[in-house]
Amino acid sequence: MKLLIVESPSKAKTIEKYLGKDFKVVASVGHIRDLPKSNKDAIDLEAGFVPSYTVVKGKEKVISEIKRLAHKSDEVILATDPDREGEAIAWHVSEAVGLKDPKRIVFHEITKEAVEEALEHPRSIDTHLREAQEARRVLDRLVGYDLSGLIWKKVRYGLSAGRVQSPALRIIMEREREIRAFKPETFWTITAKLEDNGRHQLDFVCSKEPTDKTEVEKILEEGKQGSWSITDIKETKVARSPRAPFITSTLHQYASSRLGLAPSRTMSLAQKLYEAGHITYMRTDSTNLGAAARKDIEKLVKSKYGEKYFESHVYAKKSKNAQEAHEAIRPTHINLERAGANEQEQKLYQLIWQRTVSSQMQSAEIMRTKVVSNIEKSSIPDFWLNGSRILFDGWLKADPRAASEDVLLPTLTIGESLKLLDMNSEEKETQPPARYSEAGLVKELEKRGIGRPSTYASIIKTLEDRNYIDKINKALHPTDTGEVVSNFLEEHFPTYISDSFTADMENKLDDIAQGDRTYKKTLSDFYTPFHKDVRDKEKVEKQTNLGKADPEHKCPVCGAGMIIKLGKGGKFLSCEKFPECQGARTIEGKELEGPKDTGELCPKCGKGNLVTREGKFGFFTACARYPKCKFVKKDEEQARANSTGVGCPVCKKGFMSERRGRFGVFYSCTNYPDCRYAIKAKPTGEICKLCGSLMMDGTKTIPERCSDKLCPNHNPHKLDLPAGRQEKAK
């Protein structure tokens, strides 16, 4: 028997179907060893940055099972993912199990042909790839420990910083400063509704956007009195070239804009499609398509759309370190137009299929038309009407959503008279630059060379988990905590969080992977000056004072001035005489009340009284001896006071109550923690007719909907209700 080891159980299940009885396929279930979570000494600096690994908690049984099977096997093959992390996992499995000269194979798609081909070309574990991953892990640990330790001392306990996350936070913060500094300017748009002889109503727009109201009134006055006609028609034939197949970053961007998926969700769905054998490996920066894949696409395009639609394209690589031996993200079987275990997987697969097929098709031919109109003997600006029509759809045939909503124009001629039906103006203001969305940030990180395909989603998730950013209507907003941390790093460590330095370090890690640099020298060149800079900053004063507050806000206790500080709940105003005076206000200037004694003895420690405090999410009752005693009273009366009166559909005992958490207001059962049922919006009291779940109130932008995400009533774009939910609905 031969033993083949992969990371994922679902991947193991797929591969085992291909290989038959001679193979036993098992999964390591991700990493089995890692650096200890809270021990910087796990890295021996003097010995040359040698890491000391420990078994990941809960993986002891996995290691024991692999050892048992390896002992019974004639041959052990490591088939983890085809990237640095996969190489590192293969090495850790080999070390932890004690394998002697295991074979290593890689494949970029989980198909029978690819796996069998890989088995015919085994190799040993690539030391350079493994060292590149180890260097990244050690670097992140060293930077995280040194910077986080300093921030704990100088800003606030519990905060942290990272080698790649900190530059990403800086980029978000730079955009926020641009928005704050932006000064809007007023302008007017002027439109004229004109009618041609064929009775077509056409909306022309003034080519100039005046900033002076007097000029606006003059244009309107002249325009309403004059005789309108077409003064010019310009037609331009343009070619719209197809886009390159997806790489990781472009998949993030299009899955966000078309499907509304966050990068982390996109990668989760893509991982499942990959493990099921539907798509090639989803962490790649190569736009290359293999010869066999190109041949299959050619055959499909010619048979499905016709000979004239096919055209072979080779796309320039976006990253100078892109490995052309790897492929872009594409379907493993191009003839399969629909795949995936659920609706979201199917939509993502369709997106990948359309992009892959259209990348090898003819350019679309578009006729763009600009019609210019004005009044006779005019002193006012021209008015324009733009339109376009598709002469040849080309690659848009396979990807119709890529076609813009074209304005189809009637047949018009120069000199033709037009009748004015209406003319008006609208006052507007220039807008500040938009905040980054998750997909927009990924695009910016890729552009600046920060991070790699495997890290984009984790960078954003880390910033969210640390409460450095909030996602509001898809836009990334820095929190008060994120702003303070970024300001501190930008002031004291500008070099280490700069674009050039971070991108250069990524290139050095790539050099290690290619064998052009050594592990020890790379880490030493970075860490020696970095550690010295961190030690030098120990002399910096503690950054608790974030500047003076507005003079109108006085201390509610002593009447002195106030300063801005950062607390666990964000920024607040503190008396400038602190700690002699402990007066405080919210950042908006509202007075903060101190703890109020309830007169009850703490049931946990029996030493302190219970007091009512105001926290980030409202009032709560806890022991006055906090943090020595961390007892918090379950405030059932408060929960019932906030009750909506709608009964809980799960436990049938409690009521749905308004609460506030880290991500804002939500509604949960008053019987918590015995019942953990919760929904995002206020329940209406109505029951969904399709699935039996609670209906939720609508907003200005979201209609009333079901609380069950899998129900079509939750999202009007959902497809068929799953069979299990159909039974529930009945």
Active site residues: 281
Separation between Cα atoms, residue 543 and residue 168, nearest integer Å: 22
Instruction: Work out the end-to-end distance of the chain between its first and last CA atoms, rounded to an integer number of angstroms.
Output: 49
Distance, in Å, from the CA atom of 15 to the CA atom of 85, rounded to the nearest integer, reads: 20
For the record, the structure tokens of 539 come out as 């002399």
- The span from the CA of 536 to the CA of 538, in Å, is 5
Q: Rounded to a whole number, what is the largest CA-CA distance in the chain?
A: 96
Torsion 331-334-340-344 (CA) sign = positive
Complete edge-to-edge strand list for the sheet that includes strand 562-567? 562-567, 570-575, 584-586
For 624, the 3-state DSSP assignment is: coil
| Residue 470 bridge partners (DSSP) | 477
Provide the 8-state DSSP code for 653.
S
Nearest residue to 208 (alpha-carbon basis) of 77, 54, 64, 382: 382
Tokens of residue 280, six digits: 């090639």
Beta carbons of 511 and 525 less than 8 angstroms apart? no
In contact, 230 and 372? CB cutoff 8 Å: yes
Q: Can you point out the beta strands (E) in 175-227?
A: 186-195, 201-206
707, 709, 657, 652: which is closest to 680 by C-alpha? 707
Q: Are strands 570-575 and 643-647 parallel, antiparallel or unpaired?
A: unpaired
Contact (CB, 8 A) for 710 and 729: no
Please give the structure tokens belonging to residue 432.
Answer: 């500040």
Q: Which letter does DSSP use for residue 434 in this model?
A: P
d(CA 461, CA 264) in angstroms, rounded, equals: 7
Q: Which amino acid is at 592?
A: L
Q: 660 forms bridges with which residues in the sheet?
A: 665
Report DSSP state, residue 668.
E
Distance in angstroms (rounded) separating the CA atoms of residues 88 and 126: 9
Residue 395: CB atoms within 10 A of its CB come to 27
Give start and end residues of each alpha helix (H) in 27-163.
Answer: 60-72, 84-97, 112-119, 127-154
Q: Is 55 exposed, middle or buried (0-12, 13-18, 19+ CB in 10 A)?
A: middle
Q: Sign of torsion, CA 281 282 284 285? A: positive
Give the position of tokens 């007091």.
Answer: 611
Encoded amino acid at 577, one letter: K
From residue 626, alpha-carbon distances to 526, 598, 619 in Å are 42, 15, 15
Assess contact for 247 and 285: CB atoms under 8 A.
yes
